[in-house]
Amino acid sequence: MRHTISVLVENKFGVLARISGLFSGRGFNIESLSVAPTLDLTTSRMTIITRGDDAIIEQVIKQLNKLIDVIKVIDFSEEDFIERGIVLVKVNAEPSNRAEILRMTEIFRGKVVDVSAKTYTIEVTGAEAKVSAFVEMIKPLGIIEIARSGKIAMSRGKKTLG
Amino acid sequence: MEYTGAEIFVKSLLKQGADLIFGYPGGVVLPIYDELFKTPKLRHILVRHEQGAVHMADGFARASGKPGVALVTSGPGATNTVTGIATAYMDSIPIVVFTGQVPTALIGNDAFQEADIIGITRPCVKHSYLVRDVKDLASTIAEAFYIATTGRPGPVVVDLPKDVLLAKTKFEYPETVELRSYRPNTSANKRQIEKLAAALEEAKRPVLYVGGGMILTNAAAELKKLAHTIQAPVTMTLMGLGSFPSLDDLSLGMLGMHGTYRANMAVTHTDLIVALGARFDDRVTGKLDEFAPNAKVAHVDVDPTAISKNVPTHIPVVGDLKDAMKKLNAVIAESKVDWKAKHKPWLEQIDEWKHANKLEYVKKTNVIKPQFVVEEIDRVTGGDAIFTTEVGQNQMWAAQYLTLKRPRTFLTSGGLGTMGYGFPAAIGAQAAFPDKVVIDIAGDGSIQMNIQELGTAVQQRLPVIVAILNNGFLGMVRQWQQLFHGNRYAYTCMESQPDFVKLAEAYGALGIRATKPEEVGPALEQAIAARRPTIIDFVVDREENVYPMVPAGSPLNKMLLA
Ligand SMILES: Cc1ncc(C[n+]2csc(CCOP(=O)(O)OP(=O)(O)O)c2C)c(N)n1
Ligand SMILES: [Mg+2]
């Protein structure tokens, strides 16, 4: 099963290496990863998407907690949460398909963020399913380049990570 | 007043109560060595190879319960420590390893003698630090010791760039350390303890399965109390040996691949296995899905990752083992169960197993059996000694035939299985206890991996005794080749061996050789009386095997008995 895990860590030298090393060293997989400082600049928030059965996820969470620089770990998969990622897609903008590109962008509530004689660059944000669906729809129109971010996540309601 | 980083290093160690360093100098740590020169209070033992320094710090820690300290230079000095660090990591031993580093401005430039030791050791440390500002030095050293010694202990590496050692700042050593991201859970949950006690009340065939955690938390007295009160048999892992007297009627001895017949049978038939500071290693469980097939599993451990990692656990108890044992004993004290009556059939069954297949070997009068050497070591010392081992058959015979009575008297590399561990570890233990008899039970292969430390022992006048069970083979590997690879002894015989007696003498140590059974006892007595570093070359039966043996991947009750 796919799990979205957020980890609050000390914003210290080498933390990312410790976390990625834990995953590679123990044979856990990382599907996506994002890191950035929080409001308190001494901490960073990481969001990791991983897959595994219950026993593996239990080990992943325990092992993360065991790292000295990890302050808190939340597995969102048990609850209602918001997940967002962003994609930038550069597409061939021929006179024949420009209208279709704009229509798709509108349906997915995306934005055209850059335009040149031959290309449109589009930004779409959303949960994994939405971002993937957009990419699938736009593929036949001729993607030149794509950049996808790792996902970030947050609980709904009052609950917080740290 | 301001001090240099090097001065702060020395002051911090003294504040920490660490007054012994095992080390080896080099360019970037010269500022520290200059301070050591001026500070005789802080004793430094000069080793011959940095791996030796780390094993010595480890042996010191295992024997004394205090954290061990090693100090080495950058680059090759640092990389030479890796095996020692990994050894301590696998066995959860509290040591702090200080490595020199090139000046901060040069880090990442492939500077002379630069190695990314933080990166290299990342998977085998509990934690590590690169100190980049002298202002952080004292607090980092305090944190390093705190982390190494609390929770599940382990090695911590502190990397010290040369410019940090030369820069100056005020010296303030923190009185206490508190880290928001590290709060080792030390208090066992009362509810879970009650559940465990209730399970013990219900069980008909319980087994206490004890690991190294019992020794690390100094809980042997609580274990004895528990076992005797509830009349439950105790089996120990290699790392747990010494935590329960092996001659106690309730002792089953060691379990696992080379465990006793009765221990492996008991674990196979138990209905409640209570793991106390043990981690269900594959050398212990044999084939995992046939391990303790009828048993409920209770597991007490300070490290939550150890629980349910290999074996599904019905009653997890997370917390310090000593605390948990005290609480469990308190709950048990209230119990109305007549434990003796309840466990009578079970203990009778175990007694039958005990007499069915004892640890045995064929005694000979013309050739020394390696098991006989261990029995003689046990007899001559009366068990009143600290034993270390190398790895291989020597290690297993030591585990089987020593009648250990006390914790911290059997130091062995269990998790990593590091050949070359035993001798430096013995030097470290001897440094902690200069008046005790310390004996490394060695193999002829293993001893050659850190034989250079003979120089250290002689220089420091540490009267460590090395008892080589010299079978002229990498014996344990040869045993596998004999049993599982059709007798094809590929590269397990070192056809050229040093003359160990002359070698000892070349270093200024005592060398003794024994080739007949009747020479074994006198050789040991001579070595103990000499009170100087000694190698005894016991020329033993070459193709003796370690039994019982559970072939890798087989269930525990499928033992080869001879
Ligand atoms: C550093 C290291 N290299 C290789 C091994 C694999 N190994 C395990 S036991 C053994 C043989 C040890 O020979 P010896 O020290 O003579 O002990 P014996 O088994 O003969 O008692 C070897 C090579 C190891 N455990 N450690
Ligand atoms: Mg040998």
Print the SS3 string covering A67-118: CCCEEEEEEHHHCCEEEEEEEEEEEECCCCCHHHHHHHHHHCCCEEEEECCC
* pLDDT computed for residue B10 by the predictor: 98
- State how far the Cα of A41 lies from the Cα of A39, in Å rounded to an integer: 6
Q: Give the closest-approach CA distance of A61 to chain B in angstroms.
A: 9
Q: Give the closest-approach CA distance of A6 to chain B in angstroms.
A: 15
Q: Answer whether B182 sits within 8 Å of A58, measured CB to CB.
A: no
* pLDDT computed for residue A78 by the predictor: 77
* CB contact B118 to A (< 8 Å): yes
* pLDDT computed for residue B185 by the predictor: 72
**A interface residues, B as partner, C-beta within 8 Å:** 9-10, 13-14, 17-18, 21, 25, 55, 58-59, 62-63, 65-66, 68-71
- Choose the catalytic residue: B56, B236, B325, B476: B476
* pLDDT computed for residue B138 by the predictor: 98
Stretch A46-63: mean pLDDT? 95
Number of Cβ atoms within 10 Å of the Cβ of B106 = 15
To the query of whether residue B395 is one of the catalytic residues in this protein, the response is: no
Q: Answer whether B126 sits within 8 Å of A59, measured CB to CB.
A: no
| Of B119, B181, B303, Cβ closest to residue A10 | B181
Which residues does chain B have within 8 Å of residue A21's beta carbon, measured at their own beta carbons? 122-123
- Choose the catalytic residue: B50, B114, B376, B390: B50
Please check the confidence at residue A162 and state whether its pLDDT lies above 80. no
* pLDDT computed for residue B126 by the predictor: 98
Residue B417 DSSP symbol: -
| Of B123, B182, B304, Cβ closest to residue A21 | B123
- State how far the Cα of B155 lies from the Cα of B95, in Å rounded to an integer: 5
* CB contact B178 to A (< 8 Å): no
To the query of whether residue B192 is one of the catalytic residues in this protein, the response is: no
Distances (CA, A) of B251 to A46, B207, B224: 49, 10, 10
To the query of whether residue B363 is one of the catalytic residues in this protein, the response is: no
Distances (CA, A) of B418 to B156, B240, B391, B415, B439: 19, 17, 6, 8, 17
Q: Answer whether A62 sits within 8 Å of B127, measured CB to CB.
A: no
Count of alpha carbons within 13 angstroms of residue A109, beta-carbon side: 5
Largest Cα separation within chain B, whole Å, is 73
Which residues does chain A have within 8 Å of residue B126's beta carbon, measured at their own beta carbons? 68
* pLDDT computed for residue B146 by the predictor: 98
For the CA of B420, the closest atom of ligand 1 is: 1
B366 CB-near residues (< 8 Å, 6+ apart): B516, B517
Q: Answer whether B308 sits within 8 Å of A55, measured CB to CB.
A: yes
- Judge whether B462 and B46 are in contact, CB under 8 Å: no
- What are phi and psi for residue A100, nearest 5 degrees? -65, -40
| pLDDT tens series, chain B, 562 aa | 999 999 999 999 999 999 999 999 999 999 999 999 999 999 999 999 999 999 999 999 999 999 999 999 999 999 999 999 999 999 999 999 999 999 999 999 999 999 999 999 999 999 999 999 999 999 999 999 999 999 999 999 999 999 999 999 999 999 999 999 999 878 999 999 999 999 999 999 999 999 999 999 999 999 999 999 999 999 999 999 999 999 999 999 999 999 999 999 999 999 999 999 999 999 999 999 999 999 999 999 999 999 999 999 999 999 999 999 999 999 999 999 999 999 999 999 999 999 999 999 999 999 999 999 999 999 999 989 999 999 999 999 999 999 999 999 999 999 999 999 999 999 999 999 999 999 999 999 999 999 999 999 999 999 999 999 999 999 999 999 999 999 999 999 999 999 999 999 999 999 999 999 999 999 999 999 999 999 999 999 999 999 999 999 999 999 999 8
Kindly report the protein residue whose alpha carbon is nearest to atom 20 of ligand 1.
Answer: B475
Q: Of B391, B481, B492, B494, which is best to mutate to test ligand 1, by the most ligand atoms within 8 angstroms of its C-beta? A: B391
Kindly report the protein residue whose alpha carbon is nearest to atom 2 of ligand 1.
Answer: B419
Count of alpha carbons within 13 angstroms of residue B290, beta-carbon side: 12
Q: Of B413, B451, B476, which is best to mutate to test ligand 1, by the most ligand atoms within 8 angstroms of its C-beta? A: B476
To the query of whether residue B162 is one of the catalytic residues in this protein, the response is: yes
**Burial class of residue A47 in the structure, from the number of CB atoms within 10 Å of its CB (0-12 exposed, 13-18 middle, 19+ buried):** buried
Pure H helices in B67-136? 76-79, 82-90, 117-121
Q: Answer whether A59 sits within 8 Å of B309, measured CB to CB.
A: yes
What one-letter code names the amino acid at A58?
A: E
Separation of first and last alpha carbons in chain B: 71
* pLDDT computed for residue B322 by the predictor: 97
- Choose the catalytic residue: B2, B38, B41, B112: B112
Query: What is the dihedral sign for C-alpha B363, B445, B495, B464?
Result: negative
| Of B118, B181, B305, Cβ closest to residue A68 | B181
- State how far the Cα of B88 lies from the Cα of B202, in Å rounded to an integer: 38
Q: Answer whether A58 sits within 8 Å of B308, measured CB to CB.
A: yes
- What are phi and psi for residue A88, nearest 5 degrees? -110, 130
Q: Give the closest-approach CA distance of B310 to chain A in angstroms.
A: 10
Q: Of B413, B474, B492, B495, which is best to mutate to test ligand 1, by the most ligand atoms within 8 angstroms of its C-beta? A: B474
For the CA of B442, the closest atom of ligand 1 is: 15
- Cα dihedral B336, B341, B347, B349 in deg (nearest 10): -130
- Choose the catalytic residue: B15, B16, B66, B113: B113
Task: State pTM to two decimals.
Answer: 0.97
Pure H helices in B286-382? 321-333, 339-356, 370-381
| Of B119, B179, B305, Cβ closest to residue A62 | B305
For the CA of B447, the closest atom of ligand 1 is: 15
Q: Answer whether A62 sits within 8 Å of B132, measured CB to CB.
A: no
Residue of A nearest to B118 (CA): A14
Residues 133-152 of B with CB under 8 A from A: 147
Distances (CA, A) of B131 to A67, A141, B17, B167: 19, 53, 21, 12
Pure H helices in B175-258? 190-202, 213-216, 220-230
**Burial class of residue A53 in the structure, from the number of CB atoms within 10 Å of its CB (0-12 exposed, 13-18 middle, 19+ buried):** exposed
Q: Each residue of A108-154: pLDDT tens digit?
A: 999 999 999 999 999 999 999 999 999 999 999 999 999 999 999 99
* pLDDT computed for residue B444 by the predictor: 98
CB under 6 Å to ligand 1: residues?
B 390-394, 417-419, 443-446, 469, 471, 473-477
